[in-house]
Structure 1
């Protein structure tokens, strides 16, 4: 089960947030922004202190209640996916969500890069994809 998707721009600002599971605790707008900024900082730090050469930073965080996956695009945009711990193949899921983002956000002539995403088509396609999993 997929709980939530967050998209963070290259400056660490939250540009998109969507919950897919029912009954999740709702955060305030400020809490979502703090979450995005904090993750952006932790991701930057882990990419620098990693003992692995050319590390991409934090890519997966496991807990008993959820697993957090991070996919960073070549432009620095980060896709964070919160799933149940047993969710299979989140890498494929994230890459497909990125394809939807590319098709319905990046190809939209009215969207300004690095700004909040306001696209009904993007929302509908994401919801359709998540429902199919």
Structure 2
């Protein structure tokens, strides 16, 4: 089982953090930016046309396909956390990871005096905490997930 990729998208649909792991489809930075903004747009449209507004979630929060599972979490701050994983990682685990990623964002990025909201996250402690959180998830080939730098 494994996590393919992590995306953090700001309130306006801009990609502020992403990490690819072993087994992730090859994607350039431009493709990652396009994917994040497209998902943000579709999520916002889904929230606008939903017949019933949920108290804690709005819009599209999950996509399941034959080869992957995508799960998104958008807290009240408006920043979206998106995980792309294999089908072996169940939805409850992904939801738990997304909530913990939001807590790491609050602890390491938002409390950093040099970080400005909605700007790219360039915080080493945040990156290390994310790596620790996701280190137990492996790629398809059984190799422990490692970040792949573009």
**TM-score relative to the length of structure 1:** 0.92
Instruction: Determine if contact 2:6/2:19 at 8 Å carries over to the other structure.
Output: yes
Consecutive unaligned residues in structure 1, runs of 5 or more: none
Please state how far the C-alpha of 1:101 moved relative to its aligned partner: 1.0
If each structure's helix is expressed as a fraction of its own residues, which one has the higher value?
1
Q: Tell me the distance in 1 between the aligned counterparts of 2:78 and 2:95.
A: 17
Please state how far the C-alpha of 1:56 moved relative to its aligned partner: 0.1
1:118 aligned onto 2:122: yes
Equivalent residue, structure 2, for 1:73:
75
Aligned positions of 1:49-64 closer than 5 A: 49-54=49-54, 56-64=58-66
Equivalent residue, structure 1, for 2:89:
87
Structure 1 stretches of 4+ with a deviation exceeding 3 A read none
Q: Tell me the distance in 1 between the aligned counterparts of 2:112 and 2:53.
A: 36
Equivalent residue, structure 2, for 1:9:
10
Q: Bigger relative contact order, structure 1 or 2, given CA contacts below 8 A and separation 6+?
A: 2
- Cα root mean square deviation, aligned: 1.4
Please state how far the C-alpha of 1:121 moved relative to its aligned partner: 1.0
Consecutive unaligned residues in structure 2, runs of 5 or more: 138-150
> Counterpart of 2:32 in 1: which secondary structure?
helix
Q: Tell me the distance in 2 between the aligned counterparts of 1:28 and 1:93.
A: 25
Q: Tell me the distance in 1 between the aligned counterparts of 2:43 and 2:71.
A: 12
**TM-score relative to the length of structure 2:** 0.82
